[in-house]
């Protein structure tokens, strides 16, 4: 069980997932600006804690498949719904509580050329 959240602590969550993860670093416009490195778990294994929902807002663009959630107070995205797996939740590696993850392997993904690489489909086999 992992726990994590945003910088100010208003958004907190827990997730069932592995302690050894294959994470993704994407170069799309949004991920590259945020320095996003994430790994994805099934949404059924993710739970927001206490009043976290009250402090979340969401940004979408392009196909509006990805739901980029962030804290209304500190602006940190600690998780989001990724375009390649709209039934999952992408957890930001640096927002997982220290000591939870034992090993992180990072794979680079060319999100700048999404349609060229993945086609028009939203759900792709880029599982982590």
pTM to 2 decimal places: 0.83
pLDDT tens-place string over residues 2-61: 999 999 999 999 999 889 999 989 888 888 888 889 999 999 999 999 999 999 999 888
pLDDT tens-place string over residues 62-113: 888 779 899 999 999 999 998 878 889 999 999 999 998 999 999 988 777 7
Instruction: List domains and CATH numbers for the chain.
Output: 2-118 (2.170.150.70)
Residue 122: Cβ-neighbour burial (10 angstroms; 0-12, 13-18, 19+): middle
């Amino acid at each position: 069980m992992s726990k994590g959240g945003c910088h100010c602590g208003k958004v907190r969550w827990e997730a069932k997932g592995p302690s050894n993860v294959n994470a993704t670093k994407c170069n799309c416009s949004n991920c590259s600006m945020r320095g996003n490195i994430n790994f994805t778990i099934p949404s059924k294994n993710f739970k927001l804690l206490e009043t976290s929902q009250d402090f979340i807002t969401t940004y979408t663009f392009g196909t509006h498949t990805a739901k980029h959630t962030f804290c209304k107070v500190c602006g940190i995205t600690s998780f989001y719904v990724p375009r390649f797996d709209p039934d999952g939740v992408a957890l930001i590696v640096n927002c997982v509580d220290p000591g939870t993850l034992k090993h992180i392997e990072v794979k680079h993904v060319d999100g700048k050329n999404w349609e060229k690489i993945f086609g028009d489909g939203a759900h792709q086999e880029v599982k982590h």
